[in-house]
């Protein structure tokens, strides 16, 4: 897994953006609910994990910025009154790299997804000074991350947990070279295995998430949660013009198997979330996970590996004119 990273990706595709959600995803916010919330609000597990990868040759200090870390005021989803606290924690060192530590992915109930060294953490409640603005963790030296030799990159992990309350915390991340502005790091990226996000409150905006299909993958199992029967989820790739997958209703999972064709190996898929016309389903939060045929979780990258996949109509070979 991951041999592609920085090695086989042409320089034109080297990613240069570390906003989470990424700019091609068209997702307004990540979302994590307080642990006393019902899963029917759209968060099945009340925590979310993201990883950042920093190229090994990058020697400067880095910062992880959180936009709107509080749960209150602007952006957040209130239930009754705001009474939610979220713990944000940054981990580095041995144990973080999900290639070497399956538990680090945070997919299995009851396992310790907090593997690694805790570098810093902070609890945010409803606090106006952290409302609709950034809080910055860092600086960190890249070498404080967990070195992944195959990717030639240092890995950091950030966990958001809804430790009290029942409201939804909406927030975003940015991996930056500076503490006070968003300044990206060339070749860095971010990813998760269990994506919980908010849709825009309109009909026209389509959200996208981009899993990478490594060589040897022949099929994947998609699972989506609490889509609220809100329109369609379709998969586009350079080989798929758009296939729709089973969608979940309120507070339930839907899953299906999707076959992968050889031309799709070594590229990203585009999972598109199209809302239903008619009555607007407001504040739709949704969860998505993928596994390959061996049961291994797939990463969703904030900047799609190889770029956004574009369907390529099959080339029609014209038969030769028979000789007379
Ligand atoms: Ca807020
Ligand atoms: Ca509340
Ligand atoms: Ca927030
Ligand atoms: Ca939902």
Could you tell me the distance, in angstroms and rounded to a whole number, from the CA of residue 219 to the centre of ligand 3?
36
The number of beta carbons lying within 10 Å of the beta carbon of residue 61 is 14
Closest ligand to the CA of 31: 3
Could you tell me the distance, in angstroms and rounded to a whole number, from the CA of residue 66 to the centre of ligand 3?
9
The pTM of the full predicted model, rounded to 2 decimals, is 0.92
Could you tell me the distance, in angstroms and rounded to a whole number, from the CA of residue 287 to the centre of ligand 1?
21
Query: Residue 19 is encoded by which pair of tokens?
Result: 């906003």
Could you tell me the distance, in angstroms and rounded to a whole number, from the CA of residue 122 to the centre of ligand 1?
16
Closest ligand to the CA of 39: 4
- CA-to-CA distance for 20 and 28, rounded, in angstroms? 10
- Using alpha carbons, list the distances in angstroms from residue 110 to 74, 104, 107, 181, 273: 33, 12, 9, 37, 30
Closest ligand to the CA of 66: 3
- Using alpha carbons, list the distances in angstroms from residue 289 to 58, 111, 206, 231: 31, 17, 18, 19
Could you tell me the distance, in angstroms and rounded to a whole number, from the CA of residue 162 to the centre of ligand 2?
12
Would you give per-residue pLDDT tens digits along the chain (324 residues)?
Answer: 444 444 444 444 455 568 999 999 999 999 999 999 999 999 999 999 999 999 999 999 999 999 999 999 999 999 999 999 999 999 999 999 999 988 899 887 767 889 899 999 999 999 999 999 999 999 999 999 999 998 899 999 999 999 999 999 999 999 999 999 999 999 999 999 999 999 999 999 999 999 999 999 999 999 999 999 999 999 999 999 999 999 999 999 999 999 999 999 999 999 999 999 999 999 999 999 999 999 999 999 999 999 999 999 874 555 666 555
- Dihedral sign for Cα 40, 123, 107, 209, please: positive
Let me know the angle formed at the C-alpha of 156 by 143 and 37, rounded to the nearest 5 degrees. 160
Could you tell me the distance, in angstroms and rounded to a whole number, from the CA of residue 25 to the centre of ligand 3?
19
């Amino acid at each position: 897994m991951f041999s592609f990273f920085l090695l086989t990706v042409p320089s034109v595709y080297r990613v240069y953006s570390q906003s989470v959600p990424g700019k091609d995803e068209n997702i307004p916010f990540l979302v994590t609910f307080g642990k006393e919330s019902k899963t029917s609000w759209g968060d099945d597990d009340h925590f979310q994990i993201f990883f950042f990868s920093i190229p090994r040759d990058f020697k400067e200090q880095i910062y992880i910025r959180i936009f709107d870390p509080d749960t209150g005021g602007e952006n957040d989803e209130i239930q009754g009154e705001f009474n939610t606290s979220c713990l944000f924690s940054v981990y580095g060192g041995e144990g973080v790299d999900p290639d070497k530590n399956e538990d680090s992915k945070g997919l299995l109930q009851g396992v310790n997804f907090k593997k690694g060294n805790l570098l810093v953490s902070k609890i945010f409640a409803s606090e106006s000074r952290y409302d609709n603005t950034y809080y910055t963790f860092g600086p960190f030296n890249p070498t404080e991350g967990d070195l992944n030799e195959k990717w030639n990159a240092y890995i950091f992990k950030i966990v958001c947990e809804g430790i009290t309350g029942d409201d939804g915390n909406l927030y975003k991340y940015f991996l930056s070279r500076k503490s006070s502005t968003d300044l990206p790091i060339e070749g860095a990226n971010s990813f998760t295995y269990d994506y919980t996000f908010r849709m825009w409150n309109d009909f026209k905006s389509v959200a996208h998430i981009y899993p990478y299909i490594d060589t040897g993958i022949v099929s994947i199992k998609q699972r989506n949660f609490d889509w609220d029967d809100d329109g369609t989820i379709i998969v586009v790739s350079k080989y798929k013009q758009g296939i729709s997958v089973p969608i979940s209703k309120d507070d339930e999972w839907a899953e299906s198997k999707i076959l992968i064709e050889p031309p799709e190996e070594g590229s990203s898929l585009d999972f598109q979330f199209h809302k239903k016309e008619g009555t607007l389903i407001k504040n739709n939060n949704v969860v998505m996970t993928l596994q390959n045929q061996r049961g291994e979780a797939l990463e969703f990258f904030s900047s799609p590996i190889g770029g956004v996949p574009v369907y390529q109509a099959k080339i029609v070979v014209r038969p030769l004119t028979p000789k007379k």
